[in-house]
Amino acid sequence: MSICDFGIRSKASGANISIQINDSHPIIKLENFINWSELFELVLPDLKTTTKKCKWWLGRKLKVRIHLAIFILQQMFNKTDRQIEYDVKDNAAYGLFCGKNIMDKWHCPDHTKIEEFRSRISPETQRAIANYMCNAAVSAGFANPNHVDIDSTIQEANITYPSEAKMLAKLAGLSKKVADYIDKNIKDFFLIGKIGSYSVNIKEIRSLYRDYVFTAKKDNPNIKKYKLRNLLTSVTSPLCNAFSACEKLLRWGPELPWNIQKTVQQIIDVGMPYFDNLAQKILLGSDKYNDRFSLHASDVACFSKGKAHKKYEFGRAFQLARIAGNFVFALPSSDIRMDDKQAIKKLIIEHKNLFGDKKLHTASADKGYYSSANEELLIEYGVKEVGIIRPNRIKKNKLHTPDIIEKLQNRRSGIEPIIGHMKHGGQLGGSRMKKDQTTLSAGYSSVLGFNLRQIVRYQKEKMEIAA
């Protein structure tokens, strides 16, 4: 084979290139599959209520069609705001999906506007959009709602692994931030407040923190308690001074920079209450439980599911239901822990709202969902095959033959890889968001992204519905 070196030493330059996108392109087929009018009606109440002073009819018009399409692409491919902005500008198919050929004066919004639009959609609305796509798949013949499997999973919050020493070190960092701001911007603050000027020796505190963290496990437990007490003592004075300063800084209110306002509120609302509880526990031996795991996230609980690689998980629980055809709908999140046994009743209500009454024929779940009341509830609703796995201690007569029970148990195990796909293809495994509401929204959006990818697969491969 001969060798051609043409173009090796040439420079690239801009040029006009014509790209042909066929109607059979997966993105174009998905665009025509989605009922944009119904999606618009779902998000419209949120857009009206989140407009400044609720006067949604004033000001520059928001092109909802463009933003909705970008939102769908972002969840489908798990993109950040900057990534999806670049892709919409760079990818011709993405541009057509976002209405480039049908919108007047089309333009790609800036990444800040993409984030702003997404934040205006409430978590419940994002859950409704995810479940709508599941319902649309049923209407298209891609899925069968008669067969349902339910399971729960944990979405880990965007926090570091929590510990008492780490929280103390973070409180010291907040105290130093307040002290530095006052020292730089408010010269006579301490004289006016009649308290002495203070500084935070953050280097010493971090040294004590490292000394505590790297204490060998084989050492006497009392040594570690002594080091934690030293760390607490070193943080006490700076934090108390910062708390006093923060109460006085509140007088300035809006005049403070946004980051200082946030720090002041964290110290007053979260920092001092947490520190008081921790001091009572360490110094006085109080057994009062402090369930705070982060300074910025409050809707976080500790879960222990017995996983070999992950003893504890910190986040919130989601209840997910799979229908035949491998589409998923999410149950409403009433609390952080979302108890399994209470989810069966919610499953029946949500299934009825989405697909109609008496459409649930078979249902399966693991041992965590078992109770006699749940079995009776499903039977009363008309479920022909109830496959909630019973614990070994239950000696009641079995509802079905061993063959049916084995079939339901094997089918239930199929929801595990589905959840794995949602975790790795979205933020259901770990959130990138800082606020509790946006973290909840990210979990629901992962379900939306998975359902969208499934629709594309069915349109492309003509897959058959699972029995």
Host domain of residue 56: 26-121
Q: Give pLDDT, residue 142.
A: 94
**Does 336 lie in the same domain as 248?**
no
Confidence of residue 315 (pLDDT cuts 50, 70, 90): very high
Q: How confident is the model at residue 195 (pLDDT cuts 50, 70, 90)?
A: very low
Q: Give pLDDT tens digits for 345-398.
A: 999 999 999 999 989 999 999 999 999 999 999 999 999 999 998 888 888 888
Is residue 85 within 8 Å of residue 108, measured between CB atoms? yes
Say yes or no to pLDDT of 289 above 70. Answer: no
Residues 318, 438 share a domain: yes
Judgement on whether residues 278 and 315 belong to the same structural domain of the protein: no
If one compares 9 and 191, the residue with the highest pLDDT of the two is 9
Please check the confidence at residue 121 and state whether its pLDDT lies above 90. Answer: yes
CATH of the domain at 342: 3.30.420
Among the listed residues 331, 302, 269, 270, the one whose alpha carbon sits nearest the alpha carbon of residue 157: 302
pLDDT band per the 50, 70, 90 thresholds, residue 319? very high
Same domain, 352 and 439: yes
In a shared domain, residues 168 and 274: yes
Residue 84, pLDDT > 90, answer yes
β-strand pairing of 301-303 with 144-156: unpaired
In-domain check, residue 239: yes
State the pLDDT at residue 283.
83
Instruction: Please give the C-alpha separations between residue 32 and each of 27, 39, 129, 144, 348, in angstroms, as whole numbers.
Output: 9, 13, 17, 22, 31
Report how many domains make up the chain: 3
d(CA 227, CA 220): 12
Select from 231, 238, 243, 247 the least CA-distant residue to 279: 231
Q: Based on the domain organization, do 334 and 424 belong to the same domain?
A: yes
The answer to whether the beta carbons of residues 86 and 46 sit under 8 Å apart is no
Residues 82 and 152 in one domain: no
| Pair (84, 98) in one structural domain | yes
Q: Percent of the chain at pLDDT above 70? A: 95
Q: Label residue 7 left, alpha or beta by phi (over 0 means left) and psi (-120 to 50 means alpha).
A: left
pLDDT bracket for residue 220 (50, 70, 90): confident
Model confidence, pTM: 0.89
Question: 194 and 259, same structural domain?
Answer: yes
252: helix, coil or strand?
coil
SS (H, E, C) 166-183: HHHHHHHHHHHHHHHHHH
pLDDT tens-digit series, residues 423-439: 998 999 999 998 999 99
Q: Are 93 and 176 members of one domain?
A: no
pLDDT mean across residues, the chain:
89
Q: Is the pLDDT of residue 198 over 80?
A: no
pLDDT value at position 187? 64
Distance CA 214, CA 210 (A): 6
Same domain, 431 and 306: yes
